[in-house]
Amino acid sequence: MNRLLSAVSPHFHSRRTTQQIMLDVIIALVPAAVMSVVIFGYRSAMVIATCVSVCVLSEFLFEKLCKREVTVSDLSAVVTGLLLAFNLPVTIPLWQAAFGSVVAIIVVKQLFGGIGQNFANPAITARIIMMTAFSGTMTNWVSPNFTTSGAADAVSTATPLTLITKGELNSLPSYLDMFFGFRGGCLGETCVLALLLGGLYLIVRGVISWHTPVAFIGTVAVMSLICGKDVPYQLMAGGLMLGAFFMATDYSSTPPNKLGKIVFGVGCGLITILIRFWGNFPEGVSFSILLMNILTPYITKLTRPKPLTGGADKL
């Protein structure tokens, strides 16, 4: 007689795996990666390659060193590398990009227990640490290679939000340039079109739900309107699109339930506005997500759906 397998139900499983989810995120980031090379030149690709390879390598080495199961095949380190690169200026020295990658994977992710356990977004936390450590190179912005009105020289420039903060409204890029990403800024955050495409892909594939990005972007829009700011500009400038679709939707550092996601998104939007309009920094998306990451366990606990007990809580 052959031996039969025994297991607790269900005996069917969906085809979706962690690796497949991460692959979907990578696919969603490809348009923005391609556009970053178009906009800022080949050095973009070098920064991306550095971050991705150092992230994967440091995860591999750390897990080997700690004799843990090696999990690089789940592709989450690739996603972290891509997102970190997207949050850096194209001129960043490569050793600094590598340093940031090590911080993201080892300090923020692995030391807290690896995938699913980190309380803060690794890419965002690493970026904030780099902004403190390398404040000069982290704010060294260059103009895009060209704009819709013709080729431009690669010279130092400021991001649109910095220009607004400084009141230099005449040098601002046009709405169209903003939409296609022809402006100064982090290499992956500028092309609104590419990020929207990627975000929509993730929503259609069911990898993320619409709740976080809609709440986040919606709050920024409404608050900008109330504060009398240029709404389309506030939405397309800075890292809002990248943050709302790809960073505020990180699984392990944000609430898993729908109401929690809405609270999280609204909170991110409010903090972003607070920093942009009244803070010292021109941009606040990264800080807002990190702050809300810290609140996530409480948001999750307070917004957890009530089980359907039908009113009876018999004990």
Partner 1 sequence: MKIHGIRVPHHKNTANSAPVRLPLPTVITIPMSMHIGRPSAPIVKKGDSVKVGQKIAEASAYISAPVHSGVSGTVKKVDEMLISNGQKVPCIVIEPDGLQEISEEVKPPVITDHKSFVQAVADSGSVGLGGAGFPTNVKLNVRDLNEIEAVVINAAECEPYITSDTRTALDKTEYIFKGIDAFRKYMKVRRFIIGIENNKPDAIEKLRSFAQKTDDVEVHVLPSIYPQGGEKVLVYNTMHRLIPKGSLPLDVGAVVINITTLAFLAEYFETGMPLVERCVTLDGSAVKEPKNVIVPVGMPISEVIEAAGGLKSEAAKILYGGPMMGIAVPDIDAPILKNTNAVTVMDAKEAAPPKTTPCINCGACLNHCPLKLDPRAIAKAYKKNSGEELKQLQVDLCMECGCCGYVCPAKRPLVQTNKLAKAVLRIYKESNKKEERQ
Applying CB under 8 A, the residues found at the interface with partner 1 are 1-2, 4-14, 16-18, 20-21, 71, 74, 76, 114-117, 209, 251-252, 255-258, 304-315
Question: With respect to partner 1, which residue has the nearer C-beta, 157 or 254?
Answer: 254
Beta bridge partners of 151: 146
Q: Where are the alpha helices (DSSP H) in the chain?
A: 18-40, 43-65, 76-86, 94-102, 122-133, 160-166, 175-180, 192-204, 211-226, 231-236, 240-242, 258-278, 285-303
The one-letter amino acid at 58:
S
Question: With respect to partner 1, which residue has the nearer C-beta, 6 or 280?
Answer: 6
CB of 73 to partner 1, least distance (A): 10
CB of 31 to partner 1, least distance (A): 23
CB of 287 to partner 1, least distance (A): 22
CB of 194 to partner 1, least distance (A): 24
Question: With respect to partner 1, which residue has the nearer C-beta, 69 or 153?
Answer: 69
CB of 92 to partner 1, least distance (A): 29
**How far is the C-alpha of 183 from the C-alpha of 177, rounded, in Å?**
7
Question: With respect to partner 1, which residue has the nearer C-beta, 153 or 313?
Answer: 313
Place of tokens 């506005």: 273
The answer to whether 131 touches 138, Cβ cutoff 8 Å, is yes
The CA distances from residue 121 to 12, 67, 126, 291, in Å, are: 33, 24, 9, 10
CB of 15 to partner 1, least distance (A): 9
Question: With respect to partner 1, which residue has the nearer C-beta, 147 or 257?
Answer: 257
Which of 165-174's residues contact partners 24+ apart within 8 Å by CB, and which partners? 165/282, 172/233, 173/147, 174/147, 174/148, 174/149
Question: With respect to partner 1, which residue has the nearer C-beta, 13 or 151?
Answer: 13
Question: With respect to partner 1, which residue has the nearer C-beta, 65 or 312?
Answer: 312
**How far is the C-alpha of 283 from the C-alpha of 287, rounded, in Å?**
9
The helix (run of H) or strand (run of E) holding residue 190 is none
CB of 305 to partner 1, least distance (A): 4
CA 302 remoteness from chain centre: 25
